[in-house]
Amino acid sequence: MKKLLLENLEIKNFRCYQHLKLEKLGRVNLFVGKNSVGKSSILESLRLYSERGSLLSIVSILENRREVSTRRLSSSSESDEDTTLLSVIEYLFYGRKSIAEKSEPFLEIGPLSIPEKTLKLQVKWLPIDPRRDDRRVVGRQLSLFGDNIPTLEINLGEQSLGISPLDRDFYTYNRTLAERVEPNPVPNFYISTSGLSDSQIRRLWDKTVLTEAEEQITNGLRIIIPDVDRIAVVDLGASNRSVKVKLQRIAKPVPLRSLGDGMSRIFEIMLALVNSKDGFFLVDEIENGLHYTVQEQLWKLIFEIAPRLNIQVFATTHSWDCIEAFQRAAVANGKEEGTVIRLEKEAETIIPTLFDEKLLTIVTREQIEVR
């Protein structure tokens, strides 16, 4: 059994978590709990950790929540106060303290009691370098804050990963970060509740076609429709492509989307999973679009593929059917540990409760509510 990428997790001052400790993680982890207890925030923290605090990942996380638009960040209008990350990055920090008040919030993500592997992001107010040529972008902030500007300091343990001014527009970030290589990033792939974009599907499929992984994806689709023969991504011109499926009983390939939301969801899950080798696979509300009768089969595939490709899986759900399916698949596998983590809010604190296979078997047998 290969060592896990993260055997435990500690989060400080990220989103709704002032301080969260998860003492034990499994190969496959399922987070459950009511709305607004931070299930999605766990996935975001792992994404941020794996991408070493990259500004591009920060913008992507904020954009997925509709907290920011890259269109607004790239605006050249000096009258728009939201053209920089300064006005929106505070959403990542516990309590959402206004950075404009010259506070210096920080957040930390990493394994328990291993400081050298802990990612720390902190806003600091530093003097403007007189050699900088981007005072135009600062605009209103210069007169308000004098010679200091808000700057994001990124560290992994004692290792500095960079200092990035937060007064620059997003296009400037793209230019300055395009050639920057993050130190030892952990591969990861994140699927939101809305699934993958067409561009993501095209990119991942090009890496997968004619490999062993292609057959694994096909096996996933066979959970719902057993006579799936092959998959193809067809070029429709103008950078557009359509996913087609060849069924044994039908001569002409059919569009994947015409076979239902469940087929599209499984295709995207399997496609992202097999492309997460040696890293994290993160999926929000994994049961979306899937009938309860197919979920156990999907979990069995995930339990089978994850250790083979050295992937650590983190998923969320609201569904009792999904929890039961997870438990049955974990017991059937018997080799890799599956963990359900319930998040529950008490006052302003999020309390985690961990269930391994043995406890989860009791929970599902007795119909004890854990969602």
Helices in the chain by DSSP H: which ranges? 39-50, 55-64, 70-73, 135-138, 140-145, 170-177, 198-208, 212-221, 261-274, 292-308, 320-333, 357-366
Mean pLDDT of the chain: 84
Residue with tokens 């010679």: 147
Q: Is the pLDDT of residue 78 over 50?
A: no
pLDDT of residue 101: 66
Strand pairing class (148-156; 349-355): unpaired
pLDDT of residue 357: 77
pLDDT of residue 19: 96
Distance (Å, whole) CA 30 – CA 22 = 13
Q: Is the pLDDT of residue 75 over 90?
A: no
Average the pLDDT over 67-82 and give the result: 55
Q: Which residue has the higher pLDDT, 221 or 80?
A: 221
Residues 6+ away with beta carbon under 8 Å from 40: 284, 316
pLDDT of residue 135: 38
Distance (Å, whole) CA 305 – CA 215 = 12
Q: Which residue has the higher pLDDT, 96 or 186?
A: 186
pLDDT of residue 4: 93
Residue 259 C-alpha from the chain's centroid: 27
Contact 120, 141 (CB under 8 A): no
pLDDT band at 72 (very low <50, low <70, confident <90, very high): low
Render pLDDT for 87-122 as a digit per residue (tens, 0 to 9).
778 899 998 877 766 778 899 999 999 999 999 999
pTM for the structure as a whole: 0.88
pLDDT band at 168 (very low <50, low <70, confident <90, very high): low
Other Cβ atoms less than 10 A from the Cβ of 338: the count is 24
Q: Is the pLDDT of residue 83 over 60?
A: no
Average the pLDDT over 153-169 and give the result: 82
pLDDT of residue 84: 65
Average the pLDDT over 2-29 and give the result: 95
pLDDT of residue 73: 56
Least confident of 36-45, 94-103, 148-157, 164-173: 164-173
Render pLDDT for 281-330 as a digit per residue (tens, 0 to 9).
999 999 999 999 999 999 999 999 999 999 999 999 999 999 999 999 99
pLDDT of residue 371: 65
Q: Which residue has the higher pLDDT, 47 or 202?
A: 47
Render pLDDT for 232-268 as a digit per residue (tens, 0 to 9).
888 766 566 789 999 998 989 999 999 999 999 999 9
Backbone angles phi, psi at 92, to 5 degrees: -75, -20
pLDDT band at 55 (very low <50, low <70, confident <90, very high): confident
pLDDT of residue 36: 87
pLDDT band at 130 (very low <50, low <70, confident <90, very high): very low
pLDDT of residue 79: 40
Which of 95, 143, 103, 141 lies closest to 123, judged by CA? Answer: 103
